[in-house]
C-alpha cells in the first residue's frame, strides 16, 4: 500500500478565460519508508498539491489518500500519524518556543520530551524560553520542524523545509530527515532548491505547470540527462584543435582562452588534461562539474518547443514511461 | 488533553488575557458604566426624578451601542486573524476539525464578552444602588440578562462573519458593516418599504408586518427586552422620526397593542425578542461555519 497516492488530482482556480490549473491530473505513488523529493519551480503547484494532501484546500477533481485513507474523509485521524510542516505557517508570536512544543505534544497525545525535540532541531533551552516574535525566520523554521516531529509520525510532509535556514540549519534538517527515514518514517518534501534534496532523496518527482514531468530515483535521472561531466579549463596558449578527437569527448566549446569540454565518463577528464599537458599547453586553472539536479531540472522544466531550448523530447518520454 | 474544541477555547481565552484584549474590554465597559450612570438624569429630555429603573434604562440605551461594539471587536478577527497569520495552518496540522476551530473560537470569545460584561454590570449594580437606590430584583435581572444576551448575540455574529471571511476587510464589512446597517438603515428602510407598499408612512396604527420587520432588528429586540424588564422605554440611538406620529401621542397610545388595534400576535410579544436575538447569534455562526468548512485556506 502506498503511503501517499493521488488519482488524477486536479486543482483549478477561477473559470473561463481566468481559469488557472494549478495542479493538473496528478498521479503520485509514494512508497513506504522512502524519502521523496517533490521538486519544481515556484508556482509549479507543489504547495497546492501539499495543501490538498493536508486538506487545507479541496481538489476540483480527483482524489488522494495518505496511509490508505482519504485525505478529506480521514483528515483528523490522519493528523495523529502525519507530521506536517506547511508552507506559509504562522507561529504564535506571543508564545515562547517551548509552549509551542507543549501544545504540539498535548494536541498529538504524544509523550515526547520537549528538550529532545529542541536538541534535534538545534534550538537551545534559552531559545525555547524566548517568545517566537523574537525568533529569526530560521529559528521559526527549526521550531516548526520540531513540532512536525512530535508524536513519532509515520509520514512527514514538509513544504519547503529549508526555506529560511542557514547552511548549518539545512544540514541539520537533512540529518533529521535521514534519522526519520532510518527509523521507518516516510518523508515527502518539496523544494525548489535542488542541491539540497539531492543528498537525502531516494526518489524525485519533478512538477512543472501542475504536471508531473518526471519521477525516478536521483541516479537514473542524472543518467538520463547525460552521464557526462563537464570540464572547464583556462589555458595560457591557443586552444589546440585536436581535443575533440579524443575518445570519450562529447563536445568542445572555446571562448578565447577558455575551454569547455563535455565528456561521457569522468575518467576522460583526466585524459583531456594529460593530453594538453603532454602537448605542452600551459593549464592555468581547472574546474569540473558533475551534472547536478539543477541540470535535470532545467532539462525537464524548460519548454522544449521554444527556440534555443536544449535537449529533445524523447528523453522526457523515456523517463516518464 | 487532546485536540478538542475545549482545548482551543481555553487557549483562545488565555490568549485574550495575555494580549490584554480582555482587560481593554473590561476597561472600556467599566468606563462606560462609570460615565453614564452618574449622569443618567441628563439622558432624559425632561427633568425627571431618576429612579433605579430609569437609571438602568439610560444605561441600556447606551449599551445598545457599547455592548455590540465590544462583542464585535472581540470576535471579528477570531477566525480570519488566524487564517491570515498562518496559525490556522498550525492548528489544522494537528487533529482538530474545522468544526473544532469554529466552536473553540466561539466559546473563547463568548467567554471574553461575558467576562467583560459581567465585570461591567457588577460595577453598574453597585453604582445604581449607591446613587439611586436598590433596584427591583427582577428588573435588574432582566436588565443584565438582556445586555448579556445582546453581547452573546453579537459575539456569535462576529465569529460567524470571521469564519466566513477570507480577509480582515471582508470580516469587518460582514460584522461591523451589519451593525452599522442595523443602527442607521433598518428602521428607515422598514418605513420606506411600508411607504412603498401602503402609500403612506406608518402612523399611530400600522400593519402587523411592519412591527414584525422592525423587531427582527436585534437592537430593537434588545430594546424591547430591556424596556419590558425595566418598565421604562429604552429609546433607539439614534432615533429616526420616520413614523408619522402625532406629537401629542400619549405613551398609552404608543403601546403596541393599541397601535395594532387588536390582538398582539406571538411574534410581537416581548419574549419573541429572545428568539430574534438568539437567531442573530446562531444563524451567522452556522453560515460562517458552512463557508469555512468548504473554504480553501
Which of B9, B15, B94 to mutate: most A Cβ within 10 Å? B94
**If you measure CA to CA, which chain A residue comes closest to B18?**
A94
Mean pLDDT, rounded, for A216-224: 75
DSSP A160: S
Classify A21 as helix, strand or coil. strand
- A181, A207, A222 - which closes a domain: A222
Same-domain status, A55 and A182: yes
Classify B274 as helix, strand or coil. helix
Least Cα separation, residue A53 to chain B (angstroms): 11
Least Cα separation, residue B214 to chain A (angstroms): 40
Cβ of residue A94 closer than 8 Å to a chain B Cβ: yes
Write down the pLDDT at residue A313: 37
Same-domain status, A216 and A192: yes
Q: Are A94 and B296 in contact (CB < 8 Å)?
A: no
Contacts of B111 (CB under 8 A, 6+ apart): B9, B13
- Whole-angstrom CA distances from B59 to A192, B35, B133, B154, B221 are 61, 10, 15, 18, 16
Contacts of B227 (CB under 8 A, 6+ apart): B57, B233, B234
| Closest by CA position to B38, among listed B53, B25, B50 | B50
Say if A295 falls within a structural domain: no
Cβ of residue B6 closer than 8 Å to a chain A Cβ: no
Q: What is the pTM of this model?
A: 0.84
Same-domain status, A232 and A217: no
Query: Could you read off the pLDDT of A90-126 as tens digits, one per residue?
Result: 999 999 999 999 999 999 999 999 999 999 999 999 9
CATH number assigned to the domain comprising residue A285: 3.30.70.100
Least Cα separation, residue B110 to chain A (angstroms): 21
Cβ of residue A86 closer than 8 Å to a chain B Cβ: yes
Rounded to an integer, what distance in angstroms lies between the CA atom of residue B135 and that of residue B138? 9
Say if A321 falls within a structural domain: no
Say if A140 falls within a structural domain: no
Q: Which domain holds residue A237?
A: 228-289
Say if A65 falls within a structural domain: yes
Rounded to an integer, what distance in angstroms lies between the CA atom of residue A169 and that of residue A162? 8
pLDDT at A264 over 60: yes
Q: Are B3 and A90 in contact (CB < 8 Å)?
A: no
Query: Could you read off the pLDDT of B89-124 as tens digits, one per residue?
Result: 999 999 999 999 999 999 999 999 999 999 999 998
CATH number assigned to the domain comprising residue A212: 3.40.50.300
Whether the CA torsion A41, A45, A47, A53 is positive or negative: it is: negative
Rounded to an integer, what distance in angstroms lies between the CA atom of residue A63 and that of residue A81? 20
pLDDT at A305 over 90: no
Rounded to an integer, what distance in angstroms lies between the CA atom of residue A176 and that of residue A182? 10
Total structural domains within chain A: 2
Q: Are A76 and B97 in contact (CB < 8 Å)?
A: yes
Same-domain status, A162 and A258: no
Write down the pLDDT at residue A251: 80
Burial of A131 (0-12, 13-18, 19+ CB in 10 A): middle
Which residue did the predictor score with more confidence, A144 or A217? A144
**Across A95-104, A251-260, B83-92, least confident range:** A251-260
Same-domain status, A267 and A212: no
Cβ of residue B297 closer than 8 Å to a chain A Cβ: yes
Q: Are B87 and A89 in contact (CB < 8 Å)?
A: yes
The maximal CA–CA distance of chain B, rounded, in angstroms, is 66
CB A291 within 8 A of CB A298: no
Judging contacts by C-beta atoms under 8 Å, the chain A residues touching residue B86 are: 88-90
Say if A53 falls within a structural domain: yes
Burial of B151 (0-12, 13-18, 19+ CB in 10 A): buried
Amino acid at each position: 500500500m502506498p503511503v501517499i497516492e493521488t488519482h488524477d488530482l486536479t486543482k483549478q482556480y477561477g473559470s473561463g478565460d481566468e481559469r488557472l490549473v494549478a495542479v493538473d491530473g496528478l498521479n503520485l505513488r509514494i512508497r513506504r519508508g522512502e524519502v521523496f523529493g517533490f521538486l519544481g519551480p515556484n508556482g509549479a503547484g507543489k504547495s497546492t498539491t501539499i495543501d490538498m494532501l493536508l486538506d487545507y484546500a479541496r481538489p476540483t477533481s480527483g482524489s488522494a489518500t495518505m496511509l490508505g485513507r482519504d485525505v478529506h474523509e480521514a483528515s483528523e485521524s490522519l493528523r495523529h500519524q502525519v507530521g506536517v510542516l506547511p508552507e506559509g505557517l504562522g507561529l504564535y508570536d506571543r508564545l515562547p518556543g517551548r509552549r509551542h512544543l507543549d501544545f504540539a505534544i498535548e494536541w498529538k497525545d504524544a509523550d515526547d520530551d520537549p528538550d529532545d525535540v529542541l536538541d534535534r532541531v538545534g534550538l537551545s533551552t534559552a531559545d525555547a524560553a524566548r517568545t517566537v516574535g523574537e525568533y529569526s525566520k530560521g529559528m521559526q523554521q527549526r521550531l516548526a520542524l520540531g513540532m512536525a516531529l512530535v508524536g513519532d509520525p509515520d509520514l512527514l510532509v514538509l513544504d519547503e523545509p529549508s526555506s529560511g535556514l542557514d547552511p548549518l540549519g539545512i544540514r541539520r534538517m537533512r540529518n533529521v530527515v535521514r534519522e526519520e527515514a532510518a527509523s521507518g518514517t516516510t518523508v515527502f518534501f518539496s523544494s525548489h532548491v535542488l542541491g539540497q534534496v539531492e543528498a537525502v532523496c531516494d526518489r524525485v518527482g519533478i512538477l512543472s505547470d501542475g504536471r508531473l514531468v518526471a519521477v525516478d530515483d536521483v541516479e537514473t535521472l542524472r543518467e538520463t540527462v547525460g552521464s557526462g561531466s563537464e570540464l572547464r579549463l583556462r589555458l595560457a596558449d591557443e586552444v589546440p584543435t585536436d581535443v575533440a578527437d579524443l575518445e570519450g569527448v562529447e563536445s568542445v566549446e572555446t571562448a578565447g582562452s577558455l575551454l569547455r569540454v563535455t565528456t561521457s565518463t569522468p575518467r576522460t577528464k583526466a585524459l583531456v588534461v594529460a593530453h594538453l599537458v603532454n602537448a605542452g599547453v600551459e593549464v592555468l586553472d581547472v574546474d569540473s562539474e558533475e551534472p547536478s539536479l539543477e541540470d535535470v531540472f532545467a532539462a525537464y522544466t524548460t519548454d522544449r518547443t521554444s527556440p534555443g531550448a536544449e535537449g529533445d523530447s524523447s528523453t522526457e518520454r523515456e523517463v516518464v514511461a | 488533553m487532546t485536540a478538542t474544541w475545549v482545548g482551543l477555547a481555553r487557549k483562545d481565552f488565555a490568549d485574550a488575557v495575555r494580549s490584554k484584549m480582555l482587560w481593554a474590554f473590561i476597561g472600556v465597559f467599566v468606563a462606560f458604566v462609570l460615565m453614564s450612570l452618574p449622569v443618567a438624569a441628563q439622558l432624559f429630555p425632561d427633568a425627571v426624578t431618576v429612579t433605579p429603573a430609569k437609571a438602568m434604562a439610560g444605561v441600556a440605551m447606551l449599551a445598545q451601542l457599547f455592548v455590540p461594539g465590544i462583542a464585535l471587536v472581540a470576535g471579528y478577527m477570531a477566525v480570519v486573524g488566524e487564517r491570515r497569520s498562518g496559525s490556522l495552518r498550525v492548528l489544522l496540522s494537528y487533529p482538530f476539525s474545522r468544526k473544532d476551530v469554529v466552536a473553540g473560537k466561539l466559546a473563547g470569545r463568548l467567554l471574553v464578552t461575558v467576562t467583560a460584561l459581567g465585570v461591567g454590570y457588577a460595577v453598574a449594580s453597585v453604582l445604581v444602588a449607591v446613587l439611586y437606590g436598590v433596584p427591583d430584583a427582577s428588573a435588574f435581572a432582566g436588565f443584565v440578562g438582556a445586555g448579556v444576551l445582546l453581547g452573546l448575540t453579537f459575539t456569535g455574529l462576529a465569529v460567524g462573519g470571521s469564519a466566513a471571511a477570507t480577509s480582515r476587510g471582508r470580516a469587518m464589512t460582514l460584522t461591523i458593516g451589519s451593525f452599522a446597517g442595523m443602527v442607521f438603515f433598518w428602521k428607515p428602510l422598514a418605513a420606506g418599504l411600508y411607504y412603498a407598499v401602503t402609500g403612506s408612512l406608518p402612523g399611530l396604527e400600522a400593519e402587523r408586518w411592519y412591527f414584525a420587520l422592525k423587531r427582527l432588528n436585534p437592537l430593537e429586540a434588545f430594546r424591547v427586552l430591556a424596556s419590558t424588564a425595566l418598565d421604562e422605554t429604552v429609546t433607539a440611538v439614534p432615533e429616526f422620526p420616520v413614523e408619522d406620529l402625532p406629537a401629542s401621542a400619549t405613551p398609552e397610545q404608543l403601546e403596541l397593542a393599541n397601535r395594532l388595534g387588536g390582538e398582539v400576535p406571538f411574534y410581537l410579544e416581548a419574549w419573541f425578542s429572545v428568539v430574534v436575538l438568539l437567531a442573530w447569534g446562531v444563524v451567522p455562526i452556522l453560515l460562517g461555519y458552512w463557508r469555512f468548512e468548504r473554504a480553501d485556506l
